[in-house]
Structure 1
């Protein structure tokens, strides 16, 4: 059954121009109008999705207005097309085509650059996340991504994007993403440099690599937005990254991004949906390298643990541990190199805590802190989790001892996730028997900049 039309204004213009039953003809004329932008390949399916709420880029809307104006014999304002204000975006829609993904990238990067200092009032939509998972898993591969546009893009140009992605990843792990400054720099770079590259000229091979690099940057920005508490924007970037990874034909990185969406869903209390997301990621990854499987199964364990599925949780942890044991001979892609025994121990600590097996959880505490020095945010998160687990086990003195270490570990970290974990610790401790030591720790936690 076809979805109902949601853009009546655009539908009315197509009807008046004689394109009501000839969407393919309109798409061909649009491609001709936009020939200076490159080799557009919009078709009847593109028109279908525009009628049902998908919003094309501003340059595409301008070409639409010009195409319709020629047929109607009058000027057509962009506002008449019914796509809304220039900074509005359809809620986390998984683009049907590569061209749609490129348009969506330009839209959300423009919005982020313009509105970074405004509060993100949107919410995570688990239904849209599951739709994106289905599209990524079951849509046919893109046959070609080559393009003819205004600027030539080479493999050297693409490699520079990976270098910058590594730089942003390092900043995020060291300092968190709560401060908008890093995201502002990244948004400006994506809009001014990466978007024109996506609209440029490149071969299919270079195009696949460009899509992979753009997916890497979008995925990193998604995680940074999640860490900053901007959950709707994080989902926008994660969904876009997923589609770009599909265009790159990189199923492993796509699975990684889908697992990140699952992690966000767990954080926000959508545990059941998170299990379905990460199951799709594992299924889509197929015969993946051991390091990738370790990360995916660890994420599955946290989803099962939060939803109370003890047996599935323990099985996933076992699979993750076995996969991690094989990483010395099966390393996997560079981007998964961060996942270490300490990360798996942190996942186990969290899982057993969610299952109310606190003493079993605390067995993983020492290894959870054997982190690389660059992972300062993860160290703060794990330290707070250890304190929370001690408190929930009724070990108030140990909880206070670990809490006292947080001032050092959380200093200089801007992270909504760290803030939430400090609030959870304060809430758990405040329910303990009132004692001078607890009151002192609560006062110290309230005074931390990271807790505000």
Structure 2
């Protein structure tokens, strides 16, 4: 069943201009009006989604106004189109086309650059997450992503984007994303450099790699937004990254992004949705390299642990461990190189603790802390998790001992996720019988910069 029209102003203009039952004709005229911007491929489906709330880019709206003005014999202001200001973008929906993905990228990157200190309105939307998963998994592949625009893009231009993505990833792992500075630099780079590249001229081969690089950057910005507590913006960027990964024909990175969305859903308490999302990721990844499968099954275990599904959780952990054993001969793409035995141990510690299997969970504690020096935030998160698992198990002395160790790992990290874990630890310790050492570590927790 067709969705109801939500943009009555745009519908009225189409009717007045004779395009009420000729959406394909309007799209053709729009493509002609925007010929200086490159090869647009809008069609009747694009018009359908514009009528139902999707917001095209500013340059597309200008071409719409020009096209309608020519038919109506009068000037048409962009404000008459009914799309509202850029700041009114709602929850990001999975773009139907590559052009739609490029427009969406420009919109949300510009919004983030202008209003970084204001979290996107709205919260995590499970329905939109499912739609994005279905679109990524089952939509037909894009026949071509080649484009003709103002700026020629070569393969060497794309390679520089991967280097920048690695740089931002390293900063995030070392210091967290609670401070807006790194995200401000990244958002400005996306608006000034990457968006014009997406609107440029490139072959299909270069275009696929450009889409992959843009998906990587969008995925990194999504994770940084999640770590900073900007959950609606994080979901915007995961959804965009999924569509760009689809355009790149990179199912493995798409599965990785969907698993990130599942991790966010677990964090926010949407455990059933998290399980569905990671199941879709595993299904879509297919015969993936061992490192990718280890990461995906570890994510599934965390979702099942939160749901209290012991058998499914332990089965997912076993699959992750078997995949991890094969990583030496099957390492996978470079972006999954971060996933190590310590990351799997952290996932096991968390999900087994959620199942109240504290003894089994704590068996993974030593390995969960065997992290590289660059993984500052993960070390802090895992240390807090070890302390909290001891506290939940009733090991007050051990919990206090591990809590004291936290200060050395938290001083340089700004992370909303770490802040929440410290709050959970404080709540758990507060439920223990009052004792001088508990009061001491609780005071120390509140004094940590990461807990403020």
TM-score range relative to shorter protein? over 0.9
* 1:243-299 superposed Cα distances (whole Å, 9 cap, x missing partner): 000000000000000000000000000000000000000000000000000000000
Matched-pair contact (CA < 8 Å) for 1:55–1:90:
no
Q: Write the distance in 2 (CA, Å) between the matches of 1:238 and 1:37.
A: 26
* 1:137-182 superposed Cα distances (whole Å, 9 cap, x missing partner): 0000000000000000000000000000000000000000000000
Q: Write the distance in 1 (CA, Å) between the matches of 2:149 and 2:121.
A: 36
1:207-222 equivalence runs, <5 A: 207-222=207-222
Tell me what 2:106 maps to: 106
Tell me what 2:338 maps to: 338
Matched-pair contact (CA < 8 Å) for 2:91–2:236:
yes
Q: Write the distance in 2 (CA, Å) between the matches of 1:398 and 1:315.
A: 29
User: What is the aligned residue count?
Assistant: 452
Q: Write the distance in 2 (CA, Å) between the matches of 1:186 and 1:297.
A: 30
Matched-pair contact (CA < 8 Å) for 2:400–2:441:
yes
Normalising by structure 1, report the TM-score. 0.99
Q: Write the distance in 2 (CA, Å) between the matches of 1:186 and 1:88.
A: 22
* 1:363-391 superposed Cα distances (whole Å, 9 cap, x missing partner): 00000000011000000000000000000
Q: Write the distance in 2 (CA, Å) between the matches of 1:121 and 1:97.
A: 25
* 1:312-332 superposed Cα distances (whole Å, 9 cap, x missing partner): 000000000000000000010
Q: Write the distance in 2 (CA, Å) between the matches of 1:40 and 1:119.
A: 32
Tell me what 1:38 maps to: 38
Q: Write the distance in 1 (CA, Å) between the matches of 2:307 and 2:193.
A: 42
- Structure 1 residue runs of 5 or longer lacking an equivalent are none
Tell me what 2:2 maps to: 2
Matched-pair contact (CA < 8 Å) for 1:87–1:110:
no
Q: 1:43 to 1:121 in 2, by over 3 A?
A: closer
Tell me what 2:239 maps to: 239
Tell me what 1:322 maps to: 322
Normalising by structure 2, report the TM-score. 0.99
Q: Write the distance in 2 (CA, Å) between the matches of 1:267 and 1:408.
A: 25
Tell me what 2:425 maps to: 425
Q: By how many angstroms is 1:90 displaced?
A: 3.2
Tell me what 2:436 maps to: 436
Tell me what 1:72 maps to: 72
Please tell me whether residue 96 in structure 1 is matched to residue 106 in structure 2.
no
Please tell me whether residue 169 in structure 1 is matched to residue 162 in structure 2.
no
Q: Write the distance in 2 (CA, Å) between the matches of 1:85 and 1:141.
A: 32
**Higher deviation after alignment, 183-192 or 82-91:** 82-91
Matched-pair contact (CA < 8 Å) for 2:119–2:232:
no
Q: Write the distance in 1 (CA, Å) between the matches of 2:306 and 2:296.
A: 16
SS at match of 1:338: coil
Q: Write the distance in 2 (CA, Å) between the matches of 1:58 and 1:431.
A: 54
- Structure 2 residue runs of 5 or longer lacking an equivalent are none
Q: By how many angstroms is 1:14 displaced?
A: 0.1
Q: By how many angstroms is 1:119 displaced?
A: 3.6
Please tell me whether residue 380 in structure 1 is matched to residue 383 in structure 2.
no
Q: By how many angstroms is 1:86 displaced?
A: 2.0
SS at match of 2:87: coil
Tell me what 1:129 maps to: 129
SS at match of 1:439: helix
SS at match of 1:42: coil
Detail structure 1 runs of 4+ shifted over 3 Å in the superposition: none
